Structure 1
Amino acid sequence: MIKGFIGTSLVDYPGKISSVIFTYGCNYRCPFCYNVDLVLPERYKKLKNLSEDWVIEELKRRKGFIKGVVITGGEPTLWGKRLVSFIEEVRSQTGLPVKLDTNGSSPELVEELVISGLVDFFAIDFKTSPDRYAELGGDFALVEQTFRVLKNIADRVEIRVTMYPPLLTEKDLEKMVPYLAWFKRIALQKFVQENTLKKDLVGEVNPEFYHRVDAYLKERLPEVSIVKRY
């Protein structure tokens, strides 16, 4: 299940020093994805498996310094009950809060994690307008269900938008806004064309595009906090 571990991160858990755990496998194929080694089978099969016991021991060793644990991917929720059991073990062994990164494709699992209280903070990626999710191999109906679950704990959710111009036209943004309005925090992430899933992308993005997206969302969502990561 686990193919990567970073002992200390200052950026992955808002407001907390954290350790980051990387699961492998993903059901999406986003052209801008930079974690290709965790997405493509021919790549992640070459990576060493890290045992859950080893990871938990590493977390315990760092407990005096780190203040949270991030589980990311890939898409962690593909691991279902095994993921739930692992989070239970992390909580019982370390007592540390857990943040989960997800693409929103497993609403029932997310609901289980919300109800159980096992996950303290969620980050969910909003890729593009609902009617374009099929281009990425996704089903927005599932993502919408996840949004509906998470809007009930909106103060513990961050919606992440990677600013990749071909998937964020003004028409796309217009269709995304009603869902973004359910939440309190949006993070606008810079698109970096380096080791991406698709090679023939858009090249260097004009900074004006980032500012335009930011201004568009601020005008329509004045009560939502927008975090700039570009």
Structure 2
Amino acid sequence: MTLQTKYFKVLIFFIVLASLKGTCKKDQPPCRGNCVTINISGRIYVKTSNVALANVPVEVSWFRKAYCWGCIVYKVASGETDNDGRFNFNRTIDTTFFRNYFLSVRAPIDTSYLMSPYGLGGQNFHEEDMYDFNLNGLQDLKFGSYLKTYLTIRLHRIFSDSFDYFSVDHSFLNWSSTDYIIRGPQFAKDTTFSVTTPVGIYTRIAWWKTIVAGPSKKQTDSLICTKNGPNVFDLNY
């Protein structure tokens, strides 16, 4: 690699970095027409216990509807939830912004919680968006989370059958994850692994085995995990 090529790659790196940093946040400009005062309100809480989550930061912002480099995000309001987990903002907006922007309410999810029904390796904040003007569209929002815990799954190889495929999933509500896959008995052994799951609702375990020149068999079981455990599921295969 020539010196010029190295310099070129470094230059491209800093251009990309500058573009990423170019996405900035500003307060929304003063409304000069089509002005409407809207209420943005809601509550953040634990779904299984209805316990309020206080002091959670909440921010309301305008985001561009189309993907772009260096887009400006306009902040409309920000604050924290009160002792009852509630937030409440009254702000004046220019409704013509909806031509190119959408209005978003976001609140981060603490690492001790999972968002229903996702929250595993995905979005780490609650969000509600409004793409077209609706005076009551962002009122009485419900941002519910589940307390997070860990489930240990212990696989015990006790059979001598010959199979093409074996897998284990865990799921809750309408979210599921494939946690373990092997292809062929030569890889079968006692195995232990840990997965993330909510406290206080059913976690479903499902496992599939496709027998060589035979049928595919599926079995399921479930359990309710607690915060401090021990949460252990033993599976013989």
Pairwise TM-score range, normalised by the shorter structure: under 0.3
Give the TM-score taking structure 2 as reference length. 0.21
Richer in helix (by share):
1
Structure whose residues are more often strand by fraction: 2
Computing the radius of gyration from Cα coordinates, the structure with the larger value is: 2
Q: TM-score, normalised by structure 1?
A: 0.22
